[in-house]
Structure 1
């Protein structure tokens, strides 16, 4: 039996606004096995992006824990978290998050360059990935010279260049038209399958979610259902809305 790559235990996240407290996530517990593709869905305000950020070490929980490859990351300081993110985690963002002053090739190279890997080795790998996503003739173009779909292809290549153990994608096709979005989805799954990376996607797109091995649905900060491909849905009791 595989040891989970990601374990979340009794995770709660509360934000303070003035004199009020808003609990966005309430005692979330789940685990994800290596190599699985998992979609997190739910209406706006359900807590899915907050959950993704906590799992990726971009934020710290109010209570509970997050462990990656058996190491608890929710209590790490920023220095250790940065190292974990650079070596084990990949990201794909809805808004692409490319560096405007760098070319497509240079943007893809950034995560591995930060490790001190020799330049020529990084350059060759980045070129290879950009060719795989169909941008072999756009290596020296800047983000402003690329379409939205092309920018997200660069984002995919950047996310996979250091062969992360787990990749988090936050609405990866949210800013793209349907046809372009479908192409990006296929590329993401193809790269994921080739490299054996665990993939966790936050999406409003039910069609995209249904391409995954597993769908976790959130509502009001609780897990409403947890569905595995070809298995019965495990549904939680209807959550109580916090006052």
Structure 2
């Protein structure tokens, strides 16, 4: 039996713009196996970030479904969805999304503090992760005291602290220079491999996409191509490619 962690079925998303209906995603279907890495690429306006948000339970589709670990998250009540996001999903944002009034350590602690986990246990996990991403000497620094690369390292530690089953990253190196971006990419894949997390990345960065086991290319809200980026071996996951 195929071990799919994420199943996207005939996903469609529309928005109302003035008096017109704008269709951003059109009948998107694909499955992703647990423990794999997948890049979602395509030009601006192709629907990449919208698709990522739907898969992560940050928004609801106009039609179709998103099945995460056997649960249809596209029809869940917000209270149940919040629980799924807190326990099973990690997210890394292009703009870091750190809380400005919290230190690096406190920012990393937030996801599992919300579970009611004992403070010392949360603190120990957060310190260990910040050491792993090279910020052991920045625990008490606030976001405005950190560089962009350091803020994204905090973001990575926060995303991984609750050991999510799947991690979604939206342009994780988009606001960083080339050298810093490369360091963040390496950390992302190192942490991913260590924890066995499924990784789904939206990116314009061809080099980052090529590091993933699979690439899904979107154009005009449809899947244009679905492939392994560097060789011709059979794709380990199935997908429906739009005509």
CA distance in 2, matches of 1:127, 1:37: 26
CA distance in 2, matches of 1:112, 1:232: 38
Q: 1:97 offset after TM fit, Å? A: 0.1
Please state if 1:41 is matched with 2:41.
yes
Please state if 1:25 is matched with 2:40.
no
CA distance in 2, matches of 1:205, 1:125: 31
Superposition TM-score, scaled by structure 2 size = 0.95
The runs of 4+ residues in structure 1 deviating greater than 6 Å are none
| Contact 2:29 2:240 survives alignment (8 Å) | no
Q: Unaligned stretches of 5+ in structure 2?
A: none
Tell me the number of residue pairs that the alignment of Structure 1 and Structure 2 aligns.
238
| Contact 1:10 1:28 survives alignment (8 Å) | yes
| Contact 1:143 1:151 survives alignment (8 Å) | yes
CA distance in 2, matches of 1:46, 1:206: 16
* Secondary structure of 2:201 counterpart: strand
Aligned to 1:99: 99
Aligned to 1:209: 209
Aligned to 1:148: 148
Deviations 1:201-233 (A, max 9, x none): 000011100000000000000000000354268
Q: 1:235 offset after TM fit, Å? A: 9.0
* Secondary structure of 1:181 counterpart: helix
Please state if 1:54 is matched with 2:54.
yes
Superposition TM-score, scaled by structure 1 size = 0.95
* Secondary structure of 2:13 counterpart: strand
Deviations 1:97-146 (A, max 9, x none): 00000000000000000000000000000000000000000000000000
| Contact 2:66 2:74 survives alignment (8 Å) | yes
CA distance in 1, matches of 2:209, 2:240: 17
CA distance in 2, matches of 1:203, 1:77: 30
Q: 1:18 offset after TM fit, Å? A: 1.0
Matches of residues 93-242 of structure 1 in structure 2 within 5 Å? 93-228=93-228, 230=231, 231=233, 236=241
* Secondary structure of 1:225 counterpart: strand
CA distance in 2, matches of 1:216, 1:42: 8
* Secondary structure of 2:40 counterpart: strand
CA distance in 2, matches of 1:177, 1:14: 34
Q: Unaligned stretches of 5+ in structure 1?
A: none
Q: 1:2 offset after TM fit, Å? A: 3.6
RMSD of aligned Cα (Å): 1.3
| Contact 1:12 1:25 survives alignment (8 Å) | yes
| Contact 1:224 1:235 survives alignment (8 Å) | no
* Secondary structure of 2:58 counterpart: coil
